[in-house]
Amino acid sequence: MASPWIAIGALALVAIAIPLGMMVVSSLLRPTVEEQGKSATYESGEIPTGSTRIRFNIQYYMVALLFVIFDIETVLIFPWTVIYRSAVGSAGLVAALVPMLVFIGVLVIGLAWAWRNGAVRWVKSPRAEQRRQERQRQ
Amino acid sequence: MVISASLVTWFSGPTLQTAPPIGDWVALTPVLLLGLTALILFVIDSIDPDDASNTPALAGTAAVGTVLALGAAVVLLAAGIGQGQGGALRLYGGQLIVDGMALFFTVIFTSVATLVIVASYDYLADRVYQAEYYMLILLAATGMTLMAAAGSLATVFISLELASLPSYALVAFLKDNRGSVEAGLKYFLIGALSSAIFAYGISLVYGATGRLGLDAIAQQLSGGTQLVGILGVGVLMVAGGFAFKTASVPFHFWAPAAYEGAPAPVSAFLSSASKAAGFVVAFRVFAVAFSPDAVAASVDWTLAFWLLAAVTMTIGNFAAATQDKVKRMLAYSSVGHAGYVLIGLAALNAGQNGLVLGASMIHLLVYGFMNTGAFLFVALAEHWEIGRTFEDYNGLGTQAPIACVAMSVFMFSLAGLPVGGGFMSKYFILVGAVGTGHFVLAALLLINSALSLYYYSRVVRSLWFEDPADSLSIDGYPVGLYAAVIGAAVITFLLLPGIFLASDVATSAASALFA
C-alpha cells in the first residue's frame, strides 16, 4: 500500500503549491502603482542605446580559428609527452619522435601560410579610423 | 564470359604471384603524394601570396602531383598489391585497408582530379585565390583516397569530412556570384545535417556491437545480436550519410543547386569523384561490416537499397528531362546515375556479389570520365560566356567542332549507346540485375536509359542540327580546357573496347571483399 510514488506525488503537490501560494498572497498584499519605468528592459536606470545586432570584426573569427588549431595540437601533444620516454624505450627514437614532428610540421606550414596571407595582421576598421579623426577635428 | 573467366583465374591460387611484403608507406603512396602536393602548394603560396605570376607554378605542381598519384595507384594495382593470395593489406591496426578496390577507386579519383586541374587553369584565368582552389582540390582528393581505404567507421567518418569540408568551400569559390554562394551554403547545411545523422548512426552501430573496425563489426554480428532495433536504425542512418555523399534520394536535393551554382570544374569534380568516394565507402561498409550473410537476416538493408535505387534513378531521370539549363540537366542525370550504381548494393546477397558490385565499380570508372568530360564542356561554354540553356548551345558545332564531337561522345555514352564505355558498364549492371533476379530494377534501368536518351540527345541536337544565333561567337580555344575535354572523350571511347581490362580488376577486387 505504501507505494513510494505517493510520497513523490505529495512532494510534487507541495512544490507546485508553495510558489503558487506565494505569488497569490503577494498579489493580494502589495499595492499596485502604475509606472512606465517598470516596463523598461533594464530597471537599473541605465537607458539602452542602439540595437543588439552589433557587427563584430571578422578578425575575431580568424583568431578563434587559429586558437582551435593550437588547442587541438596541445590535446595531442600532452599525452604524447607523458608516454614519450617509455615509447622511446620500447619503439625507438624514430618511431616515437618522427610522427609528432610530421604532425607539428603540417601545422607549422599551415600557420606560416595563414600568417603570410594576413590572418594575424590586425586590419584597422576604416570607419572607426574616420570617426576618430572626426573627433580629433572637433 | 570474360568476367567468370577472370574469377576462375583469380581463384586458381598457386599460379598467382603473392604480393611482396612492403612498407606501409609504399602502399599509401597515392594518398601521401596528394597530401604532400597540397602542402607544397601551401609553401609556394606562402612565398608571395599577392603575386599573380606564380599561377602556372601552382597549377603545374597540382597537376604533377595528381599525375604522380595516378601513376603510383596504377603501378600498385598492376603489381597486385593487396590483391590475390596475400589478401588486403591492413595498415595501422586495420584502420586503413589497401586492396584492389581501394586502388581501383584511387585511380578514378586521381584521374578526375587531373582532368579537373588541367581544365581549371584556363577556367580560373584572371581570378583571385587560385592557390586556395588547387589546395582545396588536392585536400579533397586526399580525403577521397583515404575514404577508399578506410577500414573502420572512425576513419570512414574522418576521411569523409576531409573530403567534404574542402568541397563546401570549393562550391562557394566564386564568392561574388550569388548562385555560387547560395549553392555553397545549401551544400554545407545539408552536409552538416547528414554528417550528424551519419555520426549518430555510427554511435548506434557501436552501441549494438561495441566495435568500430569493419571486420570486427562483421565478426561481432555473425553471432547474431540482441539489439536488432538499435542496429537497424544505425544501419539506416549510416546509409543516409552515404546517400548524401552520393547524391541519392532522399539526400539528393542539394545536388542540382550545388552543381549548378559551383564553378563547372568543381561540379565535375564533385559529381564524379565525390560521388565515387561515397560509393566506395558504402560498398566497403555494407559488404564487409554489415555483410549480407550475417546481417541481412536481422536487418534487410538490401531492400532499403532496392527502394533507393528504384526511386533515385526514376526521380533523377524524370527531373533531368524537364530542365532548360544544360548544367542542371547534368546535375539531375548525375542523381539518376547514382541510382544505377545503387543496383550493385541492392542486388547483393543473391549469390553473385562480386559480379554485381564489380559492375557498379566499372560504371563509376566510366562515369568518372564521361561525366567529368560533360561538365568540363559546360566549363568551356562558361568560359566562352555563351549562356546556360540548351538554346544557347545552338549551332556550337559550326564554331567548335572538336569539342562538340567530344560532348556528343559523352552524351551518347551517358545515355548508354555504344559509342563509349557507358554502354558496356550499363550492360554489366543490367546483367547483374537480371542474373540476381531483380527484374523490376532491370526494367527500370532500361526505361530510365531510354528516357535519358531523350534529354541527352537534346544537347547533341542543339550542338549540330540547330542554326546558330547571330550573336554566337567564341573567343579562342583554351588549351587546358580543350586538352581535358578531349582527353576525357578519348578515354571514354577507349573504354568501350578496353572495358575488359577494367572489368577483370573490378570484379576480382569486389569478389575479394566477400572472400
First vs last Cα of chain B: how many Å apart?
A: 21
Structural domain includes residue B373: yes
Residue with cell 554489415: B290
Structural domain includes residue B436: yes
Q: What is the pLDDT of residue B11?
A: 37
What is the Cα–Cα distance from A110 to B191, expressed in whole angstroms? 25
Instruction: Please enumerate in sequence order all residues whose Cβ is within 8 A of that of B190, keeping only pairs 6 or more positions apart, or say none.
Output: B244, B251, B253, B254
Which of B39, B46, B136, B139 is best to mutate for the A interface (most A CBs within 10 A)? B46
Q: Range of B510's domain?
A: 300-515
C-alpha cell at B9: 583465374
What is the Cα–Cα distance from B335 to B315, expressed in whole angstroms? 8
Structural domain includes residue A102: yes
Structural domain includes residue B394: yes
Per residue in B311-324, pLDDT (tens digit) is 999 999 999 999 99
The overall average pLDDT reported for chain B is 89
Q: What is the pLDDT of residue B8?
A: 38
Per residue in B245-266, pLDDT (tens digit) is 999 988 888 999 999 999 999 9
Q: What is the pLDDT of residue B296?
A: 67
DSSP character at residue B350 = S
What is the Cα–Cα distance from B309 to B323, expressed in whole angstroms? 22
Q: What is the pLDDT of residue A1?
A: 56
Q: What is the pLDDT of residue A129?
A: 77
- Yes or no, beta carbons of A109 and B39 under 8 Å apart: yes
The total domain count for chain A is 1
C-alpha cell at B351: 549469390
Give the residues across from B150 on adjacent strands.
Answer: B96
Residue B309 and residue B343 in contact, taking contact as beta carbons nearer than 8 Å = yes
pLDDT at B4 over 60: no
C-alpha angle A62-A63-A67 in degrees, rounded to nearest 5: 120
Torsion of CA B283, B286, B292, B297, to 10 degrees: -150
Instruction: Please enumerate in sequence order all residues whose Cβ is within 8 A of that of B374, keeping only pairs 6 or more positions apart, or say none.
Output: B268, B330, B407, B410, B411, B414
Residue B49: list chain A partners with CB under 8 A: 116-118
Chain B nearest C-alpha distance from A56 (Å):
21
Instruction: Please enumerate in sequence order all residues whose Cβ is within 8 A of that of B160, keeping only pairs 6 or more positions apart, or say none.
Output: B143, B147, B195, B198, B241, B245, B277, B281
Give the helix/strand (H/E) hosting B90.
strand B89-91
Torsion of CA A53, A59, A61, A67, to 10 degrees: -150
Lowest pLDDT segment from B22-26, B225-229, B424-428? B22-26
State pTM to two decimals. Answer: 0.86
Instruction: State how far the alpha carbon of B276 is from the alpha carbons of A20, B404, B508, B510, in Å.
Output: 63, 26, 18, 15
- Yes or no, beta carbons of B46 and A110 under 8 Å apart: no
Instruction: State how far the alpha carbon of A33 is from the alpha carbons of A30, A36, A38, B229, in Å.
Output: 9, 10, 10, 61
Chain A nearest C-alpha distance from B46 (Å):
5
- Yes or no, beta carbons of B42 and A109 under 8 Å apart: yes
Residue B287 and residue B305 in contact, taking contact as beta carbons nearer than 8 Å = no
Structural domain includes residue A34: no
Helices (H), B124-177: 130-149, 153-171
Instruction: State how far the alpha carbon of B141 is from the alpha carbons of B22, B182, B244, in Å.
Output: 24, 24, 18
Instruction: Tell which residue, B166, B171, B172, B168, has the closest CA to residue B141.
Output: B166
Instruction: Tell which residue, B459, B400, B396, B489, has the closest CA to residue B115.
Output: B489
pLDDT at B149 over 60: yes
What is the Cα–Cα distance from B399 to B474, expressed in whole angstroms? 7
Residue B17's pLDDT band, with cuts at 50, 70 and 90, is very low
Torsion of CA B126, B129, B135, B141, to 10 degrees: -70
Structural domain includes residue B438: yes
Question: Is the CB of residue B307 less than 8 Å away from at least one CB of chain A?
Answer: no
Which three-class secondary structure state does DSSP give residue B213?
strand
Instruction: State how far the alpha carbon of B197 is from the alpha carbons of A74, B190, B238, B240, in Å.
Output: 29, 11, 7, 7
Instruction: Please enumerate in sequence order all residues whose Cβ is within 8 A of that of B164, keeping only pairs 6 or more positions apart, or say none.
Output: B143, B191, B195, B245
Structural domain includes residue A8: no
- Yes or no, beta carbons of A109 and B49 under 8 Å apart: no
Structural domain includes residue B279: no
Structural domain includes residue B156: no
Residue B42: list chain A partners with CB under 8 A: 109-110, 112-113
Q: Which residue has the higher pLDDT, A15 or B80?
A: A15
Q: Residues 71..130 of A with a Cβ closer than 8 Å to B: which?
A: 106, 109-110, 112-113, 116-118
Give the residues across from B46 on adjacent strands.
Answer: none
The letter for the amino acid at A111 is L
Instruction: Please enumerate in sequence order all residues whose Cβ is within 8 A of that of B7, keeping only pairs 6 or more positions apart, or say none.
Output: B354, B507, B508, B511
Residue B1's pLDDT band, with cuts at 50, 70 and 90, is very low
Structural domain includes residue B454: yes
The letter for the amino acid at B402 is I
Which three-class secondary structure state does DSSP give residue B93?
coil
Residue B193's pLDDT band, with cuts at 50, 70 and 90, is very high
Question: Is the CB of residue B504 less than 8 Å away from at least one CB of chain A?
Answer: no
CA R_g for chain A: 31
Residue B153 and residue B180 in contact, taking contact as beta carbons nearer than 8 Å = no
Structural domain includes residue A37: no
Per residue in B422-472, pLDDT (tens digit) is 999 999 999 999 999 899 999 999 999 999 999 999 999 999 998 888 777
Q: Which residue has the higher pLDDT, B81 or B478?
A: B478
In angstroms, how far is CA B56 from the centroid of its own chain?
Answer: 27
Q: Tens-digit pLDDT profile for chain A (138 aa)?
A: 578 889 999 999 999 999 999 999 999 998 887 777 777 777 777 777 777 787 777 778 888 888 888 898 899 999 999 999 998 988 888 888 998 999 999 999 988 998 888 877 777 677 777 778 888 877
Which three-class secondary structure state does DSSP give residue B21?
coil
What is the Cα–Cα distance from B408 to B396, expressed in whole angstroms? 12
What is the Cα–Cα distance from B225 to B208, expressed in whole angstroms? 8
Nearest-by-Cβ selection for A106 from B39, B45, B46: B39
Give the helix/strand (H/E) hosting B98.
strand B96-98
Per residue in B377-411, pLDDT (tens digit) is 999 999 988 888 998 898 888 888 999 999 999 99
Residue A109: list chain B partners with CB under 8 A: 39, 42-43, 46
Q: What is the pLDDT of residue B16?
A: 38
Q: Is the peptide bond before A4 cis (omega within 30 degrees of 0)?
A: no
Chain B nearest C-alpha distance from A114 (Å):
8
Q: Which residue has the higher pLDDT, A100 or B291?
A: A100
What is the Cα–Cα distance from B238 to B251, expressed in whole angstroms? 12
Which three-class secondary structure state does DSSP give residue B475?
coil
Instruction: State how far the alpha carbon of B435 is from the alpha carbons of B82, B253, B283, B292, in Å.
Output: 29, 32, 19, 17
CA R_g for chain B: 22
Structural domain includes residue B168: no
pLDDT at B413 over 80: yes
- Yes or no, beta carbons of B45 and A106 under 8 Å apart: no
Structural domain includes residue A33: no
Instruction: Tell which residue, A44, A62, A49, A77, has the closest CA to residue A120.
Output: A62
Share above pLDDT 90 across residues of chain B, in percent, rounded to a whole number: 65
Q: Range of A118's domain?
A: 64-122
HEC sequence for chain A: CCCHHHHHHHHHHHHHHHHHHHHHHHHHHCCCCCCHHHHCCCCCCCCCCCCCCCCCCCHHHHHHHHHHHHHHHHHHHHHHHHHHHHHHHHHCHHHHHHHHHHHHHHHHHHHHHHHHCCCCCCCCCHHHHHHHHHHHHC
